[in-house]
Structure 1
Amino acid sequence: MAAPRVAHAALRRAVEAVAIVAMVPLLVVALLALPASSRPSRGALEAVDRLHAWADGRTVTDGLPTEPPRPLRRPTAFLGVQLGLGLLAATIWALILLGLITGASMVVGAATGGPVAVFEAPAGAVTWESVLWFGPPGLVLLFLALCGLAGACWLSRRARTAFSRPAAEDLEQQVRSLSTTLEDVVAAVDGERRRIERDIHDGVQQRVVALSLLLARAERTVPGQDQDILLGRARDEVQAILDDLREVSWRLHPAMLARDGLDAALEALRDRTTLPAVLHLDPRPRSACPTDLATETAAFYVASEAVSNALKHSDAARLEIRLTRGVDMLSVRVVDDGRGGADPSGPGLSGIRSRVAAQRGTMQVISPDGGPTIVEARFPCA
């Protein structure tokens, strides 16, 4: 099984060595057209990425690698390097072809005793002794030429990595951004914990105290109609406590989000909303824009926070929730027809913004006085 794999890999490398020469005209056109249009250069970059992905044996989906390459810092310089490597490979191929023609002519001349046109040698001048004398150096040169082709292909792949490597200032900016995002996420988590504590203290705890008072009164009451009324009220309080606990647990993390996905969680959010709400789900499957659970969780909490703000502060009469799966972006958008004036720097929205940023997403809040309020978050596909 190892021999076929090695042969298949060698064939891929040979095709790659031919393809980088065949791309020379495309690279020339891309560089010449760059001042007028960037479309040819994008096509050339995509062709180079496809070639290397295929030569490396990586899985390809719709003609593109499943793991998209990082963006280039200097695409023009990269195309110039690829052009130079393509010309180098073309020169090596020309030398190999010339060597093969020369060697074949010598063998034919020695076997037939005829003239060798490559050397302009007369008949009988090239013998088997000549072949044995020049054959080993020719094989060494062929080996070196093949190594040169392999080196050109290797340099072509390494150039992609080198030109994709971020600069030092970019890395510093990313570190600062990640540090700021981490601080914001920690602050948002602490704020959410305080909100949950207030919900439990002001809601569940107060109801438990009321329930204990009702049960105490029922114990002191003589069995009869009054006691039955108190027990009925106690049962109602127990049901209210259970509802409050479900609400708190839902805000912590809805179980169906991990079990059934973002679409089902948004449907449940719509059904739990007391305002009339319209939900628009993208008919395309999740595979159209694959995302992990953390991204879907962040998208859900964007919608949940926007709906919660509309219920509490906007005096809205109607809500609209829209989930869109684009080619490379997942978007969740909530619109209410309330009075507007939402503060994007408030504890709720700022905490959600930090959660979105942690998933490499962006969030926009548009809420002029008088409404409407639009909250939209976008996340890159995996």
Structure 2
Amino acid sequence: MRLPDLSGIQLPREPARLVRRSLRHVAGTLLGLVLGPLLVLTALLMLVRWRGPFRRVRGWELSRLRRAYRLQLDDQAGDSDGDGDGGGGGDGAFLGGRRALLHGALAGLLGYVMMDLLLLVAAVVLGSFTQSFYGSPVTLEFDLWVISRPAPSVLLIFGTSSLVAAALYAEFAVWLQALLLRRWTDVVRTDALESRISRLLTTRRGVVLAIDDERRRIERDLHDGVQQNIVSLSVTLARARRATDPARSSQLLEQAHAQSQALIDEVRQVAWRIYPTALDEHGLASALDGVAETSPVPVHVDVRLEGEVPQAVESAAYFVAREAVTNVVKHAAASHVRITVVTLAESDRRMLRLSVEDDGIGGANPEGGGLQGLARRVAALDGSVSVDSPAGGPTIISAEIPCD
């Protein structure tokens, strides 16, 4: 079987996507200045039974909502008579009668404010740009004071802030119109789905990197520990075979036996670091107790889980706690570690919240390879990891993972 070529897949560029989204929203809001009053006018014409213009303008308005705002609307919502309470039969008939008057008035008002804002942006940008060639300052005169600043500064500061204000206002216009439409029909913002897809692509790439990091760590454990001990055991057995003195041979065999027992323990430790069997057999609390027992720094474990927690969530929480404790032992010079795991109900989701706190010297680097690997592992489950580690301590590593 030939595998598909995935080399051409690229992650979406967020800044470019956000700029395109802002431009769509600005243009759509400005277009509402035209379609909003037309919708109101043609809705009034329905009083004399002239329905054709209204249906045409309503179609244009629905197209504006879909193309500029990426609003996915349920066209089957509403009543069936078109008498002012909405209409049925699809084709956006929910937007009829008195609803069209309200929606059109809102769209026209939002479009008028957007036009005024864009005129201000154009005046500031073009005026400042023109005066920059003459070297003359820009003067802003008020009743109480007069401000005179160099034209390039005004162009940079006020021009940029005006463009940002236009983009933010466009976002507000989309939110307000979607809020009104949700009273009459189901509304889904597909650009929000695009953001979600972008996040999933990013976390998928993070999972691949985390797996590669874990493979490298396992390879180091096997190469630097297990493999070296196997070589040492082989050398000891070879010396025992060559020994002519029975007492010397017996001594070497005893040494080889001790080395084999140590090797078995080390293999168990490597397997436990890859994935502890206690996590599957006895749950998260037991696995964290194992971390506490093997840690040279005293660790207090407090686990309060309500209800069933998915195995993937328990596994992610375990590895976060274990890596955090390992970092404490290596770098923090701490005398005590506390691991707390609880489940919380937040709005419509149940979350597992893990925190690992130590009394060490602080200064943990959130960009370090170990913590970044944990963040990628948790992000794959739609969770998040945060690090609070001021100089002097204490250090608190927290993770929140959805349980649903």
- TM-score computed with the length of structure 2 as normaliser: 0.52
Number of positions where the alignment pairs a residue of Structure 1 with one of Structure 2 = 226
**What are the equivalent positions in structure 2 for 1:1-382 lying under 5 Å apart?**
162-163=186-187, 165=188, 167-282=189-304, 285-287=305-307, 290-327=308-345, 328-382=350-404
Deviations, residues 319-372 of structure 1 (Å, cap 9, x unaligned): 111111222321111112222222111111101101111111111111222222
Q: Would you tell me which structure has more helix in proportion to its own residues?
A: 1
Q: Distance in 2 between matches of 1:160 and 1:311?
A: 59
Q: Deviations over 1:162-203 (max 9, x none)?
A: 24x3x1221111111111111111111101100110110000
Q: Deviations over 1:3-44 (max 9, x none)?
A: xxxxxxxxxxxxxxxxxxxxxxxxxxxxxxxxxxxxxxxxxx
Aligned partners of 1:338, 1:210: CA distance in 2, in Å? Answer: 38
Partner of 1:27: none
Letter in 2 for 1:353: A
1:224 and 1:160 map into 2 onto residues whose CA distance is 95
TM-fit CA distance, 1:259: 2.1
* Cα distance in structure 1, aligned partners of 2:184 and 2:386: 34
The aligned residue for residue 78 of structure 1 is none
Q: CA deviation at 1:247?
A: 1.5
Q: For structure 1, which segment, 178-187 or 333-342, has the greater mean C-alpha deviation from structure 2 after superposition?
A: 333-342
The CA deviation at 1:206 is 0.4
Q: Counterparts of 1:373 and 1:236 in 2: how far apart (Å)?
A: 40
Deviation, 1:159, is 7.6
Residue 37 of structure 1 is matched in structure 2 by none
Partner of 1:286: helix, strand, or coil?
A: coil
User: Which residue identity does 1:319 align to in structure 2?
Assistant: V
Distance in 1 separating the partners of 2:247 and 2:200: 64
Name the CA distance, whole Å, in 2 between partners of 1:268 and 1:211: 29
**Unmatched 5+ residue regions in structure 1?**
1-73, 75-80, 82-86, 89-157
Go from structure 1 to structure 2 and tell me whether the alpha carbon gap of 1:368 and 1:229 turns closer, same or farther (over 3 Å shift).
farther
Residue type of the alignment partner of 1:305: E
Give, in angstroms, the shift of residue 274 of structure 1.
Answer: 2.1
2:34 aligned partner: none
Aligned residue type for 2:221? D
Counterparts of 1:222 and 1:317, CA distance in 2: 52
CA contact (8 A) 1:299 1:377 kept: yes
Secondary structure at 1:365 match in 2 = strand
Cα root mean square deviation, aligned: 2.7
Once residues 287 and 376 of structure 2 are traced to their aligned partners in structure 1, the CA distance between those partners, rounded to angstroms, is: 21
Any conservation in 1 of the 2:285–2:303 contact (CA below 8 Å)?
A: yes
| Percent of residue pairs bearing the same amino acid type | 42
For 1:338 and 1:207, the matched residues in 2 are separated by 34
**Hey, what's the Cα distance between the residues in 2 that align with 1:232 and 1:332?**
46
Structure label with greater radius of gyration = 1
CA distance in 2, matches of 1:314, 1:238: 34
CA contact (8 A) 1:295 1:359 kept: yes
Give the TM-score taking structure 1 as reference length.
0.55
Query: Match of 1:317, SS?
Result: coil
Q: Tell me, what secondary structure is at the counterpart of 1:326?
A: strand
Inter-partner Cα distance in structure 2 for 1:306 and 1:160 = 50
- Corresponding position of 1:43: none
Amino acid at match of 1:286: E
Q: How far 1:281 moved relative to its partner?
A: 1.8
Letter in 2 for 1:366: D
Distance 1:368 1:208 in 2: 43
Q: 1:244-294 CA distances to partner (integer Å, 9 max, x unpaired)? A: 211111121111212222112112221222221111121xx531xx43111
Task: Name the CA distance, whole Å, in 1 between partners of 2:193 and 2:341.
Answer: 33
Q: Give me the whole-angstrom Cα distance separating, in 1, the residues matched to 2:353 and 2:185.
A: 31
Q: Distance in 1 between matches of 2:326 and 2:314?
A: 18
Letter in structure 2 aligned against 1:264: S
Question: What is the alpha-carbon distance in structure 1 between the residues aligned to residue 218 and residue 183 of structure 2?
Answer: 52
Q: Give distance in 2, aligned partners of 1:378 and 1:305.
A: 16
Give the CA deviation at 1:160: 9.7
- Given that 2:279 and 2:286 are in contact with CA atoms closer than 8 Å, whether structure 1 keeps it comes out as yes
* Secondary structure of the corresponding residue to residue 196 of structure 1: helix
